[in-house]
Structure 1
Amino acid sequence: MWTLSVIFILVYTFFLIAVLIGYNRIEAFNDLDMNAITSFSVIIPFRNESQHLLRLLKSIEVLDYPKDSFQVLMIDDHSEDDSVAIIRSFRASHPELRISLLTNSHADGIGKKNALISGIDRADFPWIITTDADCILPSTWLRSLSAFIHSNNLSMVIAPVSYRPNFTLLSQFQFLDFLALQGLTVGTFGLDRPILCNGANFAYTKSLFESLGGYQGNTH
């Protein structure tokens, strides 16, 4: 029993050291090149997100990026609340924003990945970005992604997601768990052995998605 415990501790310690080494290999990127303009299709599936959508839409309104260089495709995944009405009202009062409201019409029916496919099929621009309806987007979101893409010859970018906890004990535990997953993600990418990414800040070319067969065989 003691032997197994010692082996487990040694393996776990080695794993943590490896993740830390990988984490330290990742360099911060702060370049906001004003001349680097990439055209993005932002895909946002939603289902019963009426309490979050207005904050998301307001953050889209203040994105520091040319309005003609991005579109937003909101895909309704069978909502039963006021989500659709909120988006329609916001879109009507902000004609300068290219916001499309779609329905999850994929043949397989319901589900987030099917909703994403419905949006990607309608995307006009070469780069796809996915995020979630309960997110608030930083004003420099698209500009920083575009600068990073132009600084590196890329077809996919996995970007971080931050979590804003409240003061409940459960929320604090969720925050710590989320930080641990983020650190693990960064560390394994630094080791060139990525194990996960967050779809709330995930960018890739439409051509790459199609060449890999999309979500074929993995729609759940």
Structure 2
Amino acid sequence: MIMFLYFLIVVFFISSGVYKKRYIRNMASKNVYSEKISIIIPAKDEENNIETILTSCLNQNYSKELYEVVLINDRSKDKTLELAKKFEKEFKNLKIITIKKKESNLYGKQNALDVGIKNATGDLILITDADCKINKNWVRRMSKYFAGKDLGMVIGKTEITHMQNPNFLYRLQTVAHRFLMEIAQVPIMFGYYTSGIGNNLAFRKNAYIKIGGYENLGESILDDEILIRGFARKGYKLAAGFTKNSIVETNPMKSYKELFNQHKRWIVGSLNIFTPSGLLVFVQYFFNIYTIYSLFTGDKSVIFKLIGDYLLYSKLDIENGRILRIVDKIAIVFFVPFYITALGTAAIINPKTNWKEQKYKKKILKK
């Protein structure tokens, strides 16, 4: 019965694709957003990525008079600032702010974002990360969602950058990332929220001010989730950005250890059963532990879970350009229960995580 319930949930997510097409049509707007826009980019030790993201942000298919790029150099020890300053002479709409010392109680990235937003002159805020890639129509597409609509925030889509001759690690994380995006965006179509990924967000600055900003929301490893939750709780309308031009690309993890640590950091940040994402983490943890139990005890109902996962990964793979072979999907179906169980157990036993040489610890089950 438990596994059949899981199967029904999977069927719902798969069938949501039909509604997604209608949702995209309803969100389409012929209007053009005409107010000023600010792109916020927090950067800490990003010398290998900073030129790429600045080049793409500063060469948008959008009037340079109507948008600015605010780079927050967050105590970088490498050549991030030196490389960024090379862009200042050519691009007058680039603003570089350097944080030399953290003066708030907010976590590192939260603090950088808060500083950037406070110094932004745009009415609409767009956020991405320094290690991401955006297309030339990103600003135009994300801003159009707000044209003539009463929206507070748009949660954009993120994809893993395409790799030539992908290995199993790449295939695994692309499917995992697609799944996370489904969990974040599908509920929004039906008026609910769970979570989001902070490297592709857009929101109105006045709404950010009205909810009190990060200082009022409190510290969190997941700056994106706490911000989304803050907007939702204050009654602001949220929307999901599915279109091609609203997609941001992010680099894949290079090792299983990097991927595990990234996912553990996200889970530690979500370990609060009183939030939607926290509840989802516990539900996933339970289902996958039960899957392992069923596999070893011979419970035949586990077939519903395995078939459901195979169908789900197949659907995600179709949307991702069909990079998975049948053997990959079968391997992932059996690998994921053990992976999720290990992740959840590690996060519960040791809710400590590192990001950019900063250590964080999450208090579990905190309202």
The interval holding the TM-score normalised by the smaller chain is: 0.7 to 0.9
Of the two structures, which has the highest relative contact order with CA contacts closer than 8 Å and spacing of 6 or more?
1
Task: State the partner residue of 1:84.
Answer: 81
Mapping of 1:188-207 within 5 angstroms?
A: 188-207=187-206
Supply the distance in 1 between the matched residues of 2:18 and 2:185 (Cα, whole angstroms).
Answer: 9
Q: State the Cα RMSD in Å.
A: 2.2
- Kept in 1: contact 2:31–2:147 (CA 8 A): no
Question: In the alignment, what sits opposite 1:217?
Answer: 218
- 1:108 positional shift: 2.9
1:114 to 111, 115, 125: 111
1:8 aligns with 2:27: no
1:19 to 2:13 alignment: yes
Matched ranges for 1:140-219 at <5 A: 140-166=137-163, 167-215=166-214, 216-219=217-220
| Contact kept in structure 2, 1:39 and 1:125, CA below 8 Å | yes
Q: Hey, what's the Cα distance between the residues in 2 that align with 1:60 and 1:158?
A: 18
Deviations 1:166-185 (A, max 9, x none): 32332221111111111222
What's the counterpart of residue 94 of structure 2?
Answer: 99
Relative distance call for 1:207 and 1:86 in structure 2 (3 A) is: same
Q: Which runs of 5+ in 2 are unaligned?
A: 222-367
> Could you tell me whether the CA contact under 8 Å between 1:19 and 1:188 is conserved in 2?
no
Alignment partner of 2:47 out of 22, 46, 50 = 50
C-alpha distance in structure 2 between counterparts of 1:212 and 1:169, whole Å: 43
Unmatched 5+ stretches in structure 1: 1-6
Deviations 1:92-123 (A, max 9, x none): 2x23x411111235423760001000101101
What is the aligned partner in structure 2 of residue 4 from structure 1? none
- Give 1:34 shift: 7.3
User: Residue 157 of structure 2 aligns to a residue in which SS?
Assistant: coil
Counterpart for residue 28 of structure 1: 24
CA positional deviation for 1:156? 1.2
TM superposition shift of 1:140 = 0.8
For residues 36 and 213 of structure 1, what CA distance do their matches in structure 2 show? Answer: 25
Tell me the SS of whatever aligns to 2:69: strand
Matched residue pairs, number?
212
Please report how far the alpha carbon of residue 146 of structure 1 lies from its aligned counterpart in structure 2 after TM superposition.
2.2
Which of structures 1 and 2 has the bigger CA Rg? 2
8 A contact 2:106–2:218 mirrored in 1: no
TM, length-normalised to structure 2: 0.54
Q: Please identify, of 184-193 and 152-161, the stretch whose mean Cα deviation from structure 2 is larger.
A: 184-193
| Partners of 2:187 and 2:46 in 1: CA distance | 32
Partners of 1:110 and 1:187 in 2: how far apart? Answer: 29
Larger deviation, residues 54-63 vs 104-113: 104-113
Amino acid at match of 1:194: Y
* Structure 1: 4+ residue segments shifted above 3 A: 20-24, 29-36
Q: Give the letter for the 2:24 counterpart.
A: A
Aligned equivalents of 2:9 and 2:205: distance in 1? 35
Find the residue that maps to 1:41 and give its secondary structure.
strand
Deviation, structure 1 residue 33 = 4.4
Shift of 1:151: 4.2
CA drift at 1:63: 0.4
Q: Which amino acid aligns with 1:138?
A: N
Distance 1:68 1:207, change over 3 A: same
Q: 2 CA distance for matches of 1:160 and 1:148?
A: 13
In 1, the alpha carbon distance for the partners of 2:106 and 2:185 equals 34
